[in-house]
Structure 1
Amino acid sequence: MFRHQGKNRTFRHNLRLASNLSLVAGIVNSVGVLAINTLTTNVTGHFAYFAEAFIVGHYAKAIPFLLYIFFFFLGAFVSNSCIEIAAINKKKYLHTAPMFLEIVLLVFVGFWKDWNFTDAENTNQIAYLLLFSMGLQNALVTKISQSTVRTTHLTGLFTDLGIETSQYFFYRQHPNEVKLKKNIFLKLSIIVFFFTGCISGTLLFYRIGLKALFAAALLITIALMMDNLIFYYNFTRRKFRRKTNA
């Protein structure tokens, strides 16, 4: 799911990646909206809020929206920097640092009230951390899937889905038909799992509050563990076959 890149990456790898991390993003999205009334998986709306506050002269209110955008950007910057550093040092696990950092941030925010961070002003700090974590995730997914998968927002996804669905009706006898089917199925999967994450995050939030983010952290942990298990299973199987054929 995480390890394969370039020609070694298959549709199945992208589907696993998309389904798991879209579920994570859906949980973060719903928890962010319910807990602090802020979008924490994308920055599109924050540009409009910033512009409104700036134009009417509420500069103090405009600054947090600018910081929301910055922290999402910073998350993406840090994520790709970690990947590039790992690649330069020829590390096998390019995805480890961004994913581990995302887990830490989600758990940290989940314990927010236990840290006695209860002031209303601190809601912005929650948004900064969640937007940073989603920037981490979105950059990682984009990088390793070669821009095939997006998991933190759906606007561009619905645009691409509309285009490809339209193309499918014109290319039924075209060599691109199989690829179009896969692309449409992948995008529908992202939408379904993101929606499922939103529903799950809402249900969990009403029961345990910000600790609902633990579910998102757990999903990433399970994905990393499964990725390692599958890798070592395939590695051991190939090694055994080579010994048998020798």
Structure 2
Amino acid sequence: MFRHQGKNRTFIHNLRLATLLSFVAGIVNITGVLAVKTLTTNVTGHFAFFAEEVYKHDYAAAVTFFVFTLFFLMGAFTSNFLAELVAIKKPHLLHIVPVTLEIIILITVGTLGISAELSSFEGKTIAFSLLFAMGIQNSLVTKISQSTVRTTHLTGLFTDLGIELSQLFFYKKSNEKKKLNASIYLRLSIISFFFIGCISGGYFYSLLQIKTLLVGAFFLLIALLYDYIRLQYYIIKRKIFPHAIN
């Protein structure tokens, strides 16, 4: 689901990628809300909070919300920068470093973090870390899927879904309807698995507290192992059957 690039990517590859990472994003989203009482998967709301704090002349809080957006931005920058470095020599492995970095962040915060007020140092650190991790994820999935998939927030997804649902009344050709139906199905899958991640993450949080992030890290690790095993399978297959097609 990670290693296929460009024309080699299929709808199934994007669907697998979308459902897995939106599920993880849902887990991170609800964990951030419950642990530090703030959103950690997108930055749209933080701009509103930033403006509110400026209006109230609470500039220290305003700076905090502004820095939130910067950490998401830095995560996206770091993700793509590392992916581009790896892609120079091994384009099929460009996802390894960003996903591994996200896993490390989730494990570190899940192991060492504590539920805290956002105004505290611990609360800010957790929020900064999770926003950075989600910046990494959103950038990577956008790059791999060529902007077809985004998993950390739903605003754009609901907008695109609304547009495509309206197009059902106008697109009549079979090839157009087939492509449109596939896109709608993909977006509904992302939204559904984000919600499932939020709901299941809330349940796990009642048992594990902030260690719920370890669940998200576990699923990412399984995805990396899955991709690695499939890659090794195809390498062996090509050696045995040189004309086999991936």
TM-score above 0.5, yes or no:
yes
The Cα shift of 1:113 comes to: 4.3
- Output one character per residue of 1:16-60: Cα deviation in whole Å (capped at 9) or x when no partner: 100100110000000000111000000000000001111221111
Q: Does 1:95 align with 2:95?
A: yes
CA distance in 2, matches of 1:150, 1:243: 35
Residue of structure 1 in register with 2:221 after alignment:
221
1:104-155 per-position Cα deviation (integer Å, ceiling 9, x unaligned): 00001101247xxxx9331011000000000000000000100000000001
Once the two structures are superposed, the pairs formed by residues 18-167 of structure 1 within 5 Å of their partners are 18-90=18-90, 92-113=92-113, 120-167=120-167
Aligned in 2, Cα 1:243/1:92: closer, same or farther, shift over 3 Å? closer
Deviation at 1:171, TM superposition (A): 0.9
The CA deviation string for residues 56-82 of structure 1, in whole angstroms up to 9 with x for no partner, is 211111111001000000000000000
Partner AA of 2:97 in structure 1: A
> What is the CA distance between 1:243 and its match in structure 2?
8.2
Q: Which amino acid aligns with 2:159?
A: T
Which amino acid in 2 is paired with 1:30? I
1:6 is matched with 6
SS of residue matched to 2:106: helix
TM-score (norm. length: structure 2)? 0.94
Give aligned-pair identity as a percent: 55
- 1:237 positional shift: 2.2
1:91 Cα deviation from its structure 2 partner: 5.0
Structure 2 Cα separation of the partners of residues 113 and 72 of structure 1: 19
Partner SS state of residue 241, structure 2: helix
Q: Note the aligned Cα RMSD (angstroms).
A: 1.9
Distance 1:162 1:16 in 2: 22
For 1:84 and 1:113, the matched residues in 2 are separated by: 31
Please say if residues 18 and 149 of structure 2, whose CA atoms lie closer than 8 Å, have aligned partners that are also in contact.
yes
For 1:190-233, what per-residue CA distance to the aligned partner results, in whole angstroms no more than 9, with x for missing partners?
01110110011100101110000000000000001011112222
Structure 2: stretches of 5+ with no match in the other structure: none
**Aligned partners of 1:96 and 1:224: how far apart in 2?**
8
Measure how far apart 1:174 and its partner are: 4.8
Aligned to 2:175: 175
Deviates more, 1:166-175 or 1:94-103: 166-175
* Structure-1 separation of matches of 2:91 and 2:180: 34
Instruction: Flag the 1:130–1:243 CA change in 2: closer, same or farther, 3 A.
Output: closer
What TM-score do the two structures reach when normalised by structure 1?
0.94
Q: How many Å separate the matches in 2 of 1:206 and 1:101? A: 26
**Structure 1 residues 188 and 66: alpha-carbon distance in aligned structure 2, compared to 1, 3 A threshold:** same
Matches of 2:87 and 2:157, distance apart in 1: 29
Mapped contact 2:74–2:135 kept (Cα < 8 A)? yes
Letter in structure 1 aligned against 2:189: S
Change in Cα spacing, 1:127 to 1:243, as seen in structure 2 (3 Å) is: closer
Partner-residue secondary structure (3-state), 2:76: helix
Q: Secondary structure, in 3 states, of the residue corresponding to 2:71? A: helix
Structure-2 separation of matches of 1:121 and 1:189: 37
The amino acid of 2:211's aligned partner reads K
Q: Which runs of 4+ in 1 moved over 4 A?
A: none
